[in-house]
C-alpha cells in the first residue's frame, strides 16, 4: 500500500472469485465525500468498486478505481418516512444487523450479505420471491458524485430516476443511497430434498408462491430436483409444518446448495423462526459465501416462459451439468428501472454456479444464450455472459434512454470501460 492525494492506494486487486485482475494501477480509498469529489474531478477515467463480487469486468477501468469502503460509515433511519440512508461503501450484512437492532427490515436480501449496497443496486442484484422486486427496487433516493465532481441528488419520482438506479457504475460514484424499510419480521427457513421435476413443473406457480422466498437447486440432470429452500414469513403460512413438498422431504441435516460444502456456513434451517436479517440470505456473513472457487452466470426470463425455459435448460444438461457446481431457480417481481433485467415483467432467474474453468464456461455460454433467446432472456449484469450491445438493446425498451442519460451526465466518457463499450455502447 502506498499513499497518494489524501487517499490510500492499494495495489494488485483481484475480484472476489479471483478470475480477473483489475486493469487499474491500484484502488483509491477516500475517507470523506469531498476527497471523493476531488478524485473524481481530477481523473480522466475512473470507476467505483464495490465489494468486488462481480464475475466480469463491469467494475474495471484502466484509470482510477475508487472503493468507498473507508468512507465514514453512516446508517440513518428516518422512521417517519420509513427509509434508511447509507453511505456508498456499506455492505448488506452490516446494514441488516443494524436495522434489525432498531426494529426494521429490508424487503429482501441476495444469497449473500457480504456485497455492498451500491454495487448490488448498480447491477440489479436480487433475492427470490414472486412478490419481491430486486434489491434496486428498494432505492428511494441516491446521491451521486458526477463527472465534474459535483453532487447530484435524485429521488423516486424525479425525471430519469428510474434510469439512475441500476446504473452499472456508468453515471458517477454513488456516495449514499436511501432505501425503503419496513417493520422487522420473522422468517422460518426449511430445506426440502429430492423433489419431483414433473410435479414441480405441473404446479410451478404453486411451488414459487409457497413461501415469501423460494429457491430450487438443481444440476439439470435426471427427474429429481436436489433441493428447495423455502423462506416463510412466520405471520404467513408456516412452510416448516409441511411434511413434504412436491415429492421432496425435509432435510434432516443443515444443507448447503453445493454438494460437499458444510451446511454450517448457511443460515439457520429446520423451520426455526428468527430475524429476517439471519434468514433471507442463504450464506452467513462470517463464512465464505457459496464455494469461492467458482464462476457464475444468470439469465432473467419473463415469467410466462418459465416452464419452457426450464425445459430448455434440462435439454442442455449433457453440456452444462459437467461444468456445474449447482444451479438455482428464483423468482422476482417486475419493476420500472430502465436497465433492470426485471424491467416490465415478472421473472424467473436461472442461475448457474460454475466450476472455475473459464474457457469451458465461455464456450457453453453462447449455446445457452441461443437456447434461451426465444424467451427474451436478459443476463445478470454482474455475472459472465456472452451477448453484446446489439443483442441486449432490443431486450430493454429504455436502453437508448440510458445511453442518452449517460451522455448527458458523463459527456467525456470518464466512467466508460471496456465492458460498457461492448455490452451497452457498442453496436
Ligand atoms: C458468492 C456470490 C453470490 C452471489 N449471489 C447473488 C444473488 O443471490 N443474487 C444476485 O442477483 N447476484 C448475486 N451475486 C452477484 C453480485 O450480487 C453482483 O455481482 C453485485 O454487483 C456485487 O456487488 P459488489 O458490491 O461486489 O459490486 P462490484 O462487483 O464491486 O461492482 C459492480 C458494479 O457496481 C458498480 N459500483 C459499485 N459501487 C458503486 C458506487 N458506489 N457507485 C457507483 N457504482 C458502483 C461498479 O462500478 C460495477 O459496475 C453473487 C456474487 C457472488 C460472488
pLDDT at res. 122: 98
Q: How many whole angstroms separate alpha carbon 55 and alpha carbon 123?
A: 12
53/146 same-domain check: no
Task: Report helix, strand or coil for 114.
Answer: coil
Question: CB of 94 closer than 6 A to ligand 1?
Answer: no
Tens digit of pLDDT for each residue in 346-394? Answer: 999 999 999 999 999 999 999 999 999 999 999 999 999 999 999 999 9
Question: CB of 349 closer than 6 A to ligand 1?
Answer: no
159 CA to middle of ligand 1, Å? 25
32/106 same-domain check: no
234 CA to middle of ligand 1, Å? 30
394 CA to middle of ligand 1, Å? 24
Residue 36 falls inside a structural domain: yes
What ligand 1 atom has the least distance to the C-alpha of 349?
A: 11
Q: Quickly list H helices, 249-357.
A: 306-315, 317-320
117 CA to middle of ligand 1, Å? 8
**Mutate-to-test residue for ligand 1 from 59, 152, 257, highest number of ligand atoms within 8 A of CB:** 59
pLDDT at res. 1: 35
Question: CB of 226 closer than 6 A to ligand 1?
Answer: no
Calculated CA dihedral for residues 169, 56, 92, 230, nearest 10 degrees:
130
Tens digit of pLDDT for each residue in 1-48? Answer: 333 444 555 555 899 999 999 999 889 999 999 999 999 999 999 999
pLDDT at res. 238: 56
Cell, residue 349: 432467474
141/174 same-domain check: yes
Residue 289 falls inside a structural domain: no
What ligand 1 atom has the least distance to the C-alpha of 382?
A: 19
Closest CA to 88 of 120, 57, 56: 120
Domain that holds residue 168: 75-184
165/92 same-domain check: yes
- Of 160, 184, 208, the residue that ends a domain is 184
Residue 203 falls inside a structural domain: no
Question: CB of 229 closer than 6 A to ligand 1?
Answer: no
36-53 burial, b for 16+ CB within 10 Å, e for fewer?
Answer: bbbbbeebebbbbbbbbb
37 CA to middle of ligand 1, Å? 22
125 CA to middle of ligand 1, Å? 7
pLDDT at res. 8: 55
**Mutate-to-test residue for ligand 1 from 122, 134, 137, highest number of ligand atoms within 8 A of CB:** 122
Q: Is 278 a residue whose pLDDT tops 70?
A: yes
Q: Is 288 a residue whose pLDDT tops 70?
A: yes
Residue 179 falls inside a structural domain: yes
Residue 58 falls inside a structural domain: yes
159's CB contacts (< 8 A; 6+ apart) are none
Q: How many whole angstroms separate alpha carbon 1 and alpha carbon 46?
A: 19
Closest CA to 239 of 202, 265, 212, 276: 212
Instruction: List the CATH number of the domain containing 61.
Output: 3.30.43.10
Task: Report helix, strand or coil for 174.
Answer: strand
125/177 same-domain check: yes
50/133 same-domain check: no
61/22 same-domain check: yes
Question: CB of 46 closer than 6 A to ligand 1?
Answer: no
Report the pLDDT averaged over residues 160-182: 98
pLDDT at res. 237: 57
Mean pLDDT lowest for which of 35-39, 285-289, 338-342? 285-289
Q: How many whole angstroms separate alpha carbon 168 and alpha carbon 159?
A: 19
Mean pLDDT lowest for which of 137-151, 237-251, 311-325, 333-347? 237-251
- Of 184, 202, 221, the residue that ends a domain is 184
Q: Say if CB 205 and CB 214 are below 8 A apart.
A: no
pLDDT at res. 236: 60
100/27 same-domain check: no
Residue 34 falls inside a structural domain: yes
Residue 176 falls inside a structural domain: yes
pLDDT at res. 232: 95
86/176 same-domain check: yes
pLDDT at res. 192: 97
Q: Say if CB 281 and CB 109 are below 8 A apart.
A: yes
Question: CB of 128 closer than 6 A to ligand 1?
Answer: no
370's CB contacts (< 8 A; 6+ apart) are none
14/115 same-domain check: no
pLDDT at res. 286: 83
What ligand 1 atom has the least distance to the C-alpha of 125?
A: 11
pLDDT at res. 332: 98
118 CA to middle of ligand 1, Å? 8
Angle at 376 between CA 398 and CA 258, to 5 degrees: 110
**Mutate-to-test residue for ligand 1 from 382, 383, 384, highest number of ligand atoms within 8 A of CB:** 382
Question: CB of 71 closer than 6 A to ligand 1?
Answer: no
Domain count, the chain: 2
169/112 same-domain check: yes
pLDDT at res. 34: 97
114/37 same-domain check: no
Q: Is 135 a residue whose pLDDT tops 80?
A: yes
Instruction: List the CATH number of the domain containing 149.
Output: 3.30.465.10
Strands (E), 181-323: 182-183, 186-196, 213-218, 224-233, 249-250, 274-275, 295-302
Residue 297 falls inside a structural domain: no
pLDDT, averaged across the chain: 94
Report the pLDDT averaged over residues 209-221: 97
Report the pLDDT averaged over residues 131-151: 98
pLDDT at res. 427: 63
Question: CB of 382 closer than 6 A to ligand 1?
Answer: yes
Phi, psi of 18 (to 5 degrees): 75, 10
Cα→Cα distances 263→289, 291, 327, 329, 421, Å: 11, 12, 17, 19, 41
- Of 22, 48, 67, the residue that ends a domain is 67
pLDDT at res. 3: 36
Amino acid at each position: 500500500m502506498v499513499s497518494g492525494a489524501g487517499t490510500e492506494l492499494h495495489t494488485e486487486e483481484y475480484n472476489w472469485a479471483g478470475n480477473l485482475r483489475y486493469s487499474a494501477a491500484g484502488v483509491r480509498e477516500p475517507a470523506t465525500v469531498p476527497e471523493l469529489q476531488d478524485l473524481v474531478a481530477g481523473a480522466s477515467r475512473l470507476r467505483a468498486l464495490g465489494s468486488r463480487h462481480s464475475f466480469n469486468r463491469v467494475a474495471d477501468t484502466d484509470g482510477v478505481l475508487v472503493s468507498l469502503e473507508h468512507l465514514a460509515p453512516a446508517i440513518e433511519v428516518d422512521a417517519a418516512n420509513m427509509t434508511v440512508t447509507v453511505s456508498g461503501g456499506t455492505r448488506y450484512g452490516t446494514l441488516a444487523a443494524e436495522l434489525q437492532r432498531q426494529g426494521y427490515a429490508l424487503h429482501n436480501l441476495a444469497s449473500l450479505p457480504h456485497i455492498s449496497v451500491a454495487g448490488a443496486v448498480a447491477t440489479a442484484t436480487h433475492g427470490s420471491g414472486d412478490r419481491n422486486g430486486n434489491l434496486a427496487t428498494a432505492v428511494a433516493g441516491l446521491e451521486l458524485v458526477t463527472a465534474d465532481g459535483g453532487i447530484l441528488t435524485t429521488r423516486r419520482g424525479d425525471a430519469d430516476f428510474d434510469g439512475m438506479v441500476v446504473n452499472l457504475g456508468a453515471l458517477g460514484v454513488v456516495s449514499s443511497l436511501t432505501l425503503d424499510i419496513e417493520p422487522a419480521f420473522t422468517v422460518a427457513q426449511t430445506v426440502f430434498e429430492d423433489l419431483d421435476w414433473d410435479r414441480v413443473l405441473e404446479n410451478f406457480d404453486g411451488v414459487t408462491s409457497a413461501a415469501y422466498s423460494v429457491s430450487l437447486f438443481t444440476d439439470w440432470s435426471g427427474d429429481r430436483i436436489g433441493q428447495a429452500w423455502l423462506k416463510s414469513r412466520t405471520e404467513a403460512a408456516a412452510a416448516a409444518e409441511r411434511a413434504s413438498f412436491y415429492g421432496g422431504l425435509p432435510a434432516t441435516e443443515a444443507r448447503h446448495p453445493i454438494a460437499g460444502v458444510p451446511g454450517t456456513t448457511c443460515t439457520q434451517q429446520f423451520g426455526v423462526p428468527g430475524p429476517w436479517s439471519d434468514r433471507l440470505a442463504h450464506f452467513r456473513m462470517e463464512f465464505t459465501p457459496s464455494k469461492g472457487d467458482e464462476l457464475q452466470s444468470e439469465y432473467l426470463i419473463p415469467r410466462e416462459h418459465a416452464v419452457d425455459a426450464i425445459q430448455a435448460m434440462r435439454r442442455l444438461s449433457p453440456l452444462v451439468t459437467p461444468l456445474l457446481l449447482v444451479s438455482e431457480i428464483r423468482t422476482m417481481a417486475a419493476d420500472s428501472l430502465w436497465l433492470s433485467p426485471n424491467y416490465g415483467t415478472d421473472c424467473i432467474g436461472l442461475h448457474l454456479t460454475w466450476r472455475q474453468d473459464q474457457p469451458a464456461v465461455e464456450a457453453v455460454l453462447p449455446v445457452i444464450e441461443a437456447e434461451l433467446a426465444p424467451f427474451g432472456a436478459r443476463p445478470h449484469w454482474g455475472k459472465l455472459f456472452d451477448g453484446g450491445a446489439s443483442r441486449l438493446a432490443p431486450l430493454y425498451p429504455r436502453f437508448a434512454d440510458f445511453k442518452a442519460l449517460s451522455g448527458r451526465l458523463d459527456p467525456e466518457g470518464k466512467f466508460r470501460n471496456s465492458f460498457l463499450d461492448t455490452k451497452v455502447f457498442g453496436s
